[in-house]
Amino acid sequence: MMAALLLTVSQGIQAQHVTRAVAHRGYWTCEGSAQNSLTSLQKAYEAGCWGSELDIWLTADGQLVVNHDAHTLDGLDIEKTDSKQLLESKLKNGETLPSLEAYLDAGKSLTPMMLVLELKTQSTPERNIELARKVVDMVKDKGMEDQVEYIAFSNQVGTELIRLAPEAQVAYLNGDKTPAELKELGYTGLDYAHKVLKKNSHWIDEAHKLGLTVNVWTVNKAEDLQYFIDHKADYITTNEPALLLDMLKKK
Ligand code: MG
């Protein structure tokens, strides 16, 4: 009787597990979009994504801009260029490179979609700290604390985010720490490359037992998406959000 009850309860818990779709650099693999553009943010929302990821850099004059690479499409080194010039740079879809402020303002109107803010590793430890401080301050100024989560490859950036925003969700990207190590450092989750997580698939369960969330990037093929749905990743970060959302509906 007890065993049957436990089985029922555990099946109930399993049935409730939800995997959420995060558009990687926004939804850019559709018509008229581009990575990290305001259009990609809007498209992620229209597709029904739980969240949309973006990448943040600190400019030479201490401003925050959204772009993946260290250089713009026209070759400007973001860390060595002033924001005025950077904000005139064109993205692949003809939009100009967005400031973080413009991106957050656009995101705020798209609630409840979450914004997954990746803070890129800067060229010096001082700039890493300045980046973390300025991003946390801007999110706070806009009252968007509950609409953002943070991710970083740099443990220096990650631990600074944890210190500055102790209530925030902060996940580590670099794949070289165990769930127990992340928990000890104060992270709320891991966000690892799919190859790393497949090789260490026991980390998913270990993370969950420690109360950590599991995100995985960048998963684009149907068979890989299915693997992480089946293995109960909490979030899947993908360049193919429409495919993932379709699979989640059929689950
Ligand atoms: Mg990123």
Residue 11 CA to ligand 1 center (angstroms) comes to: 35
Residue 144 CA to ligand 1 center (angstroms) comes to: 20
For residue 10, is pLDDT > 70?
no
Q: According to the model, what pLDDT value does residue 89 have?
A: 98
At residue 119, the 3 state secondary structure works out as strand
Cβ neighbours of residue 39 under 8 Å, at least 6 residues apart? 26, 32, 33, 93, 95
Residue 175 CA to ligand 1 center (angstroms) comes to: 14
Q: According to the model, what pLDDT value does residue 9 have?
A: 53
Q: According to the model, what pLDDT value does residue 6 have?
A: 55
Residue 24 CA to ligand 1 center (angstroms) comes to: 7
For residue 2, is pLDDT > 90?
no
Residue 68 CA to ligand 1 center (angstroms) comes to: 6
Question: Across all residues in the chain, what is the average pLDDT?
Answer: 95
For residue 7, is pLDDT > 70?
no
Report the distance separating Cα 9 and Cα 141, nearest Å. Answer: 43
Q: According to the model, what pLDDT value does residue 33 have?
A: 98
For residue 8, is pLDDT > 90?
no
**Arithmetic mean of pLDDT, 79-99:** 98
For residue 11, is pLDDT > 60?
no
Of 8-12, 115-119, 133-137, 235-239, the least confident? 8-12
Cβ neighbours of residue 10 under 8 Å, at least 6 residues apart? none
Q: According to the model, what pLDDT value does residue 47 have?
A: 98
Output the six-digit token pair for 14.
């399993």
Helical (H) or strand (E) element with 129: helix 125-141
Strands 51-58 vs 64-66: parallel, antiparallel or unpaired: antiparallel
Q: According to the model, what pLDDT value does residue 143 have?
A: 98
Q: According to the model, what pLDDT value does residue 16 have?
A: 74
Residue 220 CA to ligand 1 center (angstroms) comes to: 15
Is the CB of residue 107 less than 8 Å from the CB of residue 40? no
Question: pLDDT tens digits for 187-237?
Answer: 999 999 999 999 999 999 999 999 999 999 999 999 999 999 999 999 999
Write the single-letter amino acid at 199. Answer: K
Residue 2 CA to ligand 1 center (angstroms) comes to: 46
Output the six-digit token pair for 9.
């309860």
Cβ neighbours of residue 145 under 8 Å, at least 6 residues apart? 139, 165, 167, 168
For residue 5, is pLDDT > 70?
no
Q: According to the model, what pLDDT value does residue 15 have?
A: 56
At residue 110, the 3 state secondary structure works out as coil
Residue 26 CA to ligand 1 center (angstroms) comes to: 10
